[in-house]
Chains A and B, each alone.
Chain A
């Protein structure tokens, strides 16, 4: 697996919020066409790590490289244009626009520049892909939370990104929806995209992830295949706590 092309390189990244060290000296690589799971208990710094990669937050120390570009120095908009798209754990829709307009807004700064009719068709295809084709002209405020998450994924896909960051995108889906969701992510990998997902749904992690990085209190405590890390003693301790005896 390690002879694959490395697209993202996280080196000794630290992020402090005042006295709190939310991400502490994290290092890992992500390879081309890989689904990498970023897991760990609540409050372990996963979402902060995602925000650091997408540029929504600045690193306090360390470097993040995408290919040969140092993206940890770049503003979020440049990182987006370099080919990183994301969804948010708490969805961030554009509430005054329809679902279609939301997706169109995401497409304008993709690798391909699209305008007018071509843009509409492109945005519509992304919506159909996430199963939202029939709701394209509804205002996003009329959509359920799950549907808003789907629109957000369509918006991320519209930019035709190389790396997609999914922050608990599968959370809250019912079993049927979960299966469709997992298939969709697998499809995205098959297209050649690289995916980093923060997730608590273990079924999804087992069936999707090629590799996992486990975080606890801002540090990396394990890295490997899902089977390896989920049987790791320290990971079990982080999730379930120490034995009492």
Chain B
């Protein structure tokens, strides 16, 4: 059943205990906060589980520490919005789509020119000249491209706010979101995977911020800071069948996605491809001596991880029903996922899913628990010392969330550096 079980042939004691803790935690949340809240939390936890699975295969299987989960998540979220939001008549009824179409055709033409220039070394031009020629031509053509796009973009923003969606089924957006994140991951991987892992962290961190900055600023595509809502759900929404039923349906959908991804990953783990990945993970030098193409496999892993992040991001954004590019935050959308994967055990898929649930319960409950603790403190302070608390103490208490995540990371690294379900990973360089 488990990735490492066939080797050990042991009873899944550890797995059962961790799963038990997760179930008890969820029941606790439901009892404290009610069913509707509990189901919402579980939906979000399943979305985070998809994201964490993407992260865990990159880190656990290939040692790639991707600190830019946020960027791939946002790409998925954008696709979920762009495909499911209704068509914007204010845009399509003008001649702007035609203008935009021509601008895109021009842009493609320019890109072809740039690719052409980057290949002139084949005609005997020295490589140094080629590099400079490519940079200069690319810069000039980029400026020209900008000059076509800027007036169209501002016209769109003026007359129609943004280009709107495509009005398709939201699940199309989920798939395209995965695809979009995968394509972005491919290009980023081509450039960055040659970097040592600590530099990869910095590169991905920066790229995620670039993706976010583009989304915030290209208002004609994303409505920028004005946000897009509501994003229709792939299942009947709360307005049709009520909160609890709609959220339960959504939960069924995301749980099925998690299950499908989990089963596919477990299957791949045992397949020749998975064995190849494990052989590279175990010892790169002997894998190369056995004919394995290490760089290509590493790129594949990176792209697969990004695809999962795109799908997870689409599911998460779709559930909140609002697309707000500025709402993607490193703490909520990168480091939280990182903590989930570390707690669960990097490279262990079941551990990662359970870790996602456990950390998300802690994350969600940190708010009400912190508030409750503060109220107790205020009550006791008033009773014993006639203490007058500062007025904003409630909002201060909410900041404890950051503290709790920091504390959690520290505790994990101290007491369970391999996670709750360690995967036997031994990197050998």
Contact = CB atoms under 8 A, between A and B. Distances in A.
Interface of A: 54-56, 75-78, 80-81, 85-86, 88, 92-98, 101, 104-106, 108-109, 115, 119, 139, 155, 159
Nearest to B282: A94
Given A55-B288, A94-B282, A96-B282, 11 more contacts: A75-B288, A77-B290, A80-B289, A85-B290, A93-B286, A94-B279, A96-B281, A101-B275, A105-B278, A106-B290, A108-B291
28 contacts: A54-B289, A55-B289, A76-B288, A77-B288, A77-B290, A77-B293, A80-B290, A80-B291, A81-B291, A85-B289, A88-B289, A92-B285, A94-B282, A95-B282, A95-B426, A96-B281, A96-B282, A96-B426, A97-B7, A105-B278, A105-B287, A105-B290, A108-B290, A109-B291, A109-B292, A115-B272, A159-B290, A159-B291
Interface residues of B, number: 24
B425 A96 contact: yes
A96 B289 contact: no
Contacts of B282: 93-97
A108 B4 CA distance: 22
A228 B406 CA distance: 70
Nearest to A114: B272
Nearest to A140: B282
Nearest to B347: A96
Secondary structure at chain B's binding surface: helix, strand, loop or mixed?
Answer: helix
Given A77-B294, A104-B275, A139-B7, A92 B283 contact: yes
- A96, A101, A104: which has the most chain B beta carbons within 10 Å? A96
Contacts of B287: 94, 105
B424 interface: yes
A80 B288 CA distance: 8
Contacts, number: 83
A139 B7 CA distance: 7
Nearest to A105: B279
Contacts of A75: 288
Contacts of A94: 278-279, 282-283, 286-287
Contact of B7 (A54, A78, A93, A98): A98
A109 to B, nearest CB: 3
B276 interface: yes
Given A96-B282, A97-B282, A76 B275 contact: no
Contacts of A55: 288-289
Interface string B284-308: 0111111111100000000000000
